[in-house]
Structures are given as structure tokens and as C-alpha cells.
Amino acid sequence: MLTHHPSPCSGRLRRARSWLFLLTLGLLLGPAWASGNSAEAMRPMAEALRDAKSPSISDLPLFSGRLLAELYAARDYRNAWDEPRARAMLKLARASRADGFEPSDFHADAIERILAEDRLDAGSEPARTQADILLSDALLRYIHHFRFGKYNPRHINPGWIFVDKADADDLKADMELVLSAPDLGQELRSLLPAPDFYVNLKRGYARYLELADAGGWKPIPGGVNLTVGMRDPRIPLIRKRLAVTDGYEQPAGLLEPERYDEPLAEVIKGLQQRSGLAADAVIGPNTLRALNEPLDDRLETIRANLERMRWLYDDLPSDYVFVDLTAYRLHVIRGGREVWDTRVVIGTTENQTPMFRDEMEYLVFNPTWTVPDSIEKQFKGVPKGYKRVRQGGRYYLVQEPGPRNALGRVKFMFPNGHAIYLHDTPSRHLFARSIRAYSHGCVRVKDPLTLAQKILNKPNWDEHQINRVVARGSTRWVHLDEHLPVLLYYLTAVADDEGRVGFRRDIYHRDPRLIAALDRPADLDRIAFREPEPEPPAADPEPDMDVPEQASRTAATGQRSEAKPAAAAPPAATGARPPAGAPSAAAGPPAPTAVDARDAAGREQVSEPGSAAAESSPAAVPPDSANAPAVSDSVPDPVPDSGASDRPPLPGPATDIDTRGEQQRRAGRSEPPIRAGEALPLGLEAVERFVEREQAAAMR
């Protein structure tokens, strides 16, 4: 079960606490805050770091010369370190091996030399200054690596893992908070993220490190499949292996150690379940492979997954959705505890579901689907469950809402640049399979209506009310009062709360590149700086008193004097390709209707079931109606026909979008072309696959 206890000092609260504490401390202590009068020596050295292309101290590269320069400038170029803090930093660097790091990642040997040579008390101010900067760099790396990871995931798996850069101001605030605390180590422990899924895997890593220090293990021989009740000389070896990897305790006075008994079978089932195998207690080739994987490989896999976890877990609140891609499961976390989970279907190896984090903003009940031209060619006439809708001077074939709709009865939107979201599916049989990688990238949910209930999390959105909304058949947008984080994690090693590690199949083959990078230096391009605002333009010259004000302004600026036309409003759910710099069509839902209005403060309002607004869900537009209202939010405006192009209209946020085609081309991959007249099977699963595939092609 997933659990998570958020840090008591996180996000805006942490930053506010940091600056308030520093302001108070600065007023109380004034210039005596840091040790020594170091400004004269520190200023030129820090300013040199700001613009250095490859800043370093004593041949050790610095993580960010600019950030360190800004840190010391904010401190009036005073030193930040004394011996107790340096010893605390050294202790943390040495202990970082438990998290999969190397002590050298945080200058452990260099800090030890600084302490051994008393450089923090040295008479030479340049040597003292260099030692101070090196210690600050160690702290910067420590905070950054634990909050955001050591490596840039965009370099590890280009096109499939997306993580924002760390904010420089946040990192500086964290550093000042830690340096100002009486106990540096304790402050760091309270500051840095520690979700339970990370702590559990770290606990499992410690168990495997102990095994490595004890000499590792020898492989268990192969043989016939073992079932409960069988006797085999390999059973004692299996018991011994599970005792060190899973904490299995062999019963005292066991009369038949070579007999496969029920207590051992329960432990084997747990191992199989954590490893993504059928939990049938049969010890066959796959289970033996899970037991026999070389210890060094296991250690590297755990290290890689600790790093992956760090890419997404920063500032994680107590409520979120955790999509475990390699386990094909979705977990809903409320109050730091798992309250519900279900099976999911994810992308194929050719159309992988990316790993990223975003926030769920709204749900769409009874979504429609506008059929792309290339699929429509395969239909004869208007099939049952579809209708013609006129828009922009032409007709479109639209699949009406319902359980057989390619998007199912509900979809869960967290607008993102990858056009990935959660949705229902008519292809129910796929959920019975153990390996469920069949989509074009989006995540299909086995129990979507129950998920809707867990997401909305309100008494008036119970099972009865949700079924009532779906039964009406009309499209309904429901905005969340508070956005809910969604984490799509790709993990090949996880652990339970006792530190028992389960290893999953690397279905997307992402492990080798990350494991190969584990011992190289950290990526240095992970920090984003807030650039200063540009200077305002010079004021207009004083107008000539003999010239009317408007004419004077026109002459001075060279602009036309007539009033500017009103800016055209963006089309609701057009999905048309925006001009350069404009927000993506996937950036959010269309303009609110009666069912998702906003109050005077601009906050999104969810219509209560049974209210007048709730009864006025927008209906689909009848085709070719002279008095028809604007097109429903769920039907996109078309892209003007380019003649030769066979592209379907780009969808709005109410239809299935997939923009990864461009990302795949950058990574040297391409989709197989859709040929005109290609014979296509039109079963539910085929239509669903083509929803995702064709709309991805539309974005290329």
C-alpha cells in the first residue's frame, strides 16, 4: 500500500518561513551573522564565478557558479561556514550512499581535507574563502540532488521523461534556511522530501547493501516447477535466500526442510506480486530468475529507481494520484494513505506512456469523439451511435457519448504538453491480462466511474449521482475545486513498508541508459533563473499644446489613430494550431458554460447535482441547423481544409490528443504511415487505437 507523509516544511510555506527567519536573524545579529570579515576576499572570487563558463575550486567543478555568486551577494559576501557545520556536511555526504549516491557527489574527501588542515580558521583569507565556497557547493548539490535528482531525465530518456528545472530562488532560500539553523543535519532532514515509497525502497537498498558486504549469493539451480507439497533439495536454498531478501523466518524445529509448505508459499506469492509475476506460488523459471538476478545488478536497479523517484516527488502534498506504469495500476492517495486502486492499460513499447507530473483540473462525463477523415473513409454511411455535425461549412462524423464511445464514459484531464490523460475504454477484456501495454500513450482505467467518485471526493458526488449524470448521456464538464497532482511513474524496483523489494520488467527498456549514467558527474543544466524584468520604455514626449492629444500620440509613436479592433476570442475547443507563442489547445478546457461557471473572484465553480446549472449541460449540435447554438465543448472546430492534406481537424481538449509524434521524430522514431484506402478492422479496440494514433498524426 502506498503511503506518504508530506514534509512539514514544503513549497510556499517553506520559502516564507525561510525568508522570515533570515530577516529576523539578520536584524538580531547584523554583520556578526557569519564567521570572519571575509567580504574583501569573497567579493572578487564570487563575482568571477558568476560569469565563468566552467567554474571550479581546487579542480573540483561547481554545480552553479551563478547561483553561488548570487547567494554570497545576498549575504554581503560574508562567509557561511564554520567547523561544526562543515562536520555536519561531511557526515551527510558520507551517509548519502544509503540513497544511492556516492560521497564524492558532495565533495566528501575535499571537506575532510578542509577540516584536517583547519582551512576554516586559516590565516590565509583566499584559502578560507575557497573552502567556504566549496562547502556551499556541496550543500547546493545535496539539496538539489535530493529534491530533484542528480541527472537531467531529458538526457537519459529523451522524449519519454519530462521534468521541469529547479528554481534558483527556491534553492537559495533552502540553503540560507539550512545555514541559519542551529542543527544543519536536522534542518535538512525536515526540509527534504521523504515520501513513503522512497523511504521503503531506501530501506530495501540498505538490505541489499548488507548482502553485498557479506559476500552476495550463489544462484539457485533450475529444475522442474515446484508447487506446494513437493519435496526438492532446492527448497532449503530458497528459504535461505528469502531470509535475507524478504525477511522470511524459517519455523523453529522444521521437520521437513526440503518440503514446499504453505508458509513458504505465502512468501513466494509476495515476491511474485512485487515482481509483477502471477502470484500463483509456483516456483518456475520466472520466479527463479527473480531470485537469481546478480546482486550487483539488483543494487544498480535500485539506485536507478531511487533517482527516478527524486525526479517527481518534490513538494508532494498528501493528496495525489499515483500511476504505477510498470505495475499497470493506479493508486489514489488521500491524507498520505492509499484509499483505492485499480488496473490500467498503458502505451505500447512503440507508443510509450511518458513519465511526468502534472495536475488534474477537470473531468468530462460522456465525451464525444470526432472521427478523423482517414478513419471515416472506412465507414459506409453513418454507423449506429454516430451522427453528422455541421461546423465551419462542412460535416463531420461524431461518435456520440456512451459506453461504446472510444473514450468511454468519462475522461480525467490534466492538460500537459504530452496530451496524455486518463480515460474510460470499451475494450474491457484487456484488463484481465497480466501485461497491459496496448494504448497509444494515454492511460485507460478499469473502473473509471469509481475513480471519478474518488477524485471528486464530495458527498453529493456519490456513485448514484455519477451514474445518474452518465445515464443522461449529455456531455458534462466538472472542474475540481482544487487541482490534484497526478504522477506517472516508471519504476522497475519498488518496496513495501518492510523494505522487501520487488523488481519489475523493464517494458520500455529505459533502465540501461540510466544505470550507465549512475557513476558519471551530475548534469549541470538543471537550474532555472528568474531573469530581471526589462526596463520600461521611455515616456512619450510632452504633446504639442497646439495638436490634439490623440494626434500627438499618433505622431510620436507612428501608430494609426483609429481604435484597435477587439482581439478575436479563441474558438471554444477549436483544437486549431495556435500561432507561435500562443497557448496550446491542450492547455485547458474551453470557455465555461452554465455547468462550470466562475464566481466573481475567478474561481472555478462545480455545479451541484440537481441545481439549475447542473441540468443545463450543453447538448450536441444538430447538423445543418440554421438556429443551432454554438458547437458543444466536446466537438472541435475544424481546421480549414488544405486540399491535399488528409489530416483530421486538430482536436480541442475534449478529444484525444497525442503530440508525441514530433518528439518521436526528434528521437529518430516515426509512426508507420496511414495509407488512404487501407483496410482497417473497425472493432471497438481498433477504433480506440486509431483515436490515439490518428490524432497524434494530426499534430505532426
Residues in the chain: 700
Residue 147: predicted pLDDT = 96
Question: How many whole angstroms separate alpha carbon 654 and alpha carbon 568?
Answer: 22
**Helix, coil or strand: residue 141:** helix
Residue 686: predicted pLDDT = 57
Residue 175 makes CB contacts below 8 A (sequence gap 6+) with 71, 136, 139, 140, 143
* Cell triple for 658: 497525442
**What crossing angle do the helices spanning 168-180 and 65-74 adopt, rounded to 10°?**
50
Residue 640 makes CB contacts below 8 A (sequence gap 6+) with 392
427 and 436 in contact (C-beta within 8 Å)? no
What are the CA-CA distances from residue 11 to residues 220, 227, 322, 334 (Å)? 48, 52, 20, 19
Residue 662: predicted pLDDT = 34
* Cell triple for 349: 513499447
Spell out the SS3 assignment of 280-292: CCCECHHHHHHHH
CA 559-564-568 angle, 5° bins: 135
pTM of the model: 0.73
Burial (CB count within 10 angstroms: exposed 0-12, middle 13-18, buried 19+), residue 583:
exposed
In 309-436 the beta strands, taken as DSSP E runs, fall at: 320-324, 329-334, 337-347, 356-365, 369-370, 386-391, 394-399, 410-413, 422-423
* Cell triple for 41: 576576499
Give the residue carrying C-alpha cell 524478504: 246
Residue 161: predicted pLDDT = 74
Residue 552: predicted pLDDT = 37
* Cell triple for 20: 522570515
Give the residue carrying C-alpha cell 570579515: 37
Burial (CB count within 10 angstroms: exposed 0-12, middle 13-18, buried 19+), residue 412:
buried
Give the residue carrying C-alpha cell 454554438: 630
Per residue in 478-535, pLDDT (tens digit) is: 999 999 999 999 999 999 999 999 999 999 999 999 999 998 999 988 899 988 777 6
Region of 419 on the Ramachandran plot (φ > 0 left; ψ -120 to 50 alpha; else beta): left
Per residue in 140-168, pLDDT (tens digit) is: 999 999 999 999 998 998 877 788 899 99
Domain boundaries, the chain: 11-192
What is the CA 620 to chain-centroid distance, rounded?
34
DSSP code, position 569: P
Question: How many whole angstroms separate alpha carbon 256 and alpha carbon 250?
Answer: 11
Residue 222: predicted pLDDT = 93
What are the CA-CA distances from residue 144 to residues 101, 308, 625 (Å)? 13, 14, 59
Other beta carbons within 10 Å of 187:
18
**Helix, coil or strand: residue 334:** strand
Question: How many whole angstroms separate alpha carbon 303 and alpha carbon 295?
Answer: 12
Q: Sign of the C-alpha dihedral, residues 348, 351, 357, 363?
A: negative
First to last CA, the chain: 40
| Below-70 pLDDT ranges, the chain | 1-38, 122-123, 535-700
User: What is the identity of the amino acid at 416?
Assistant: N
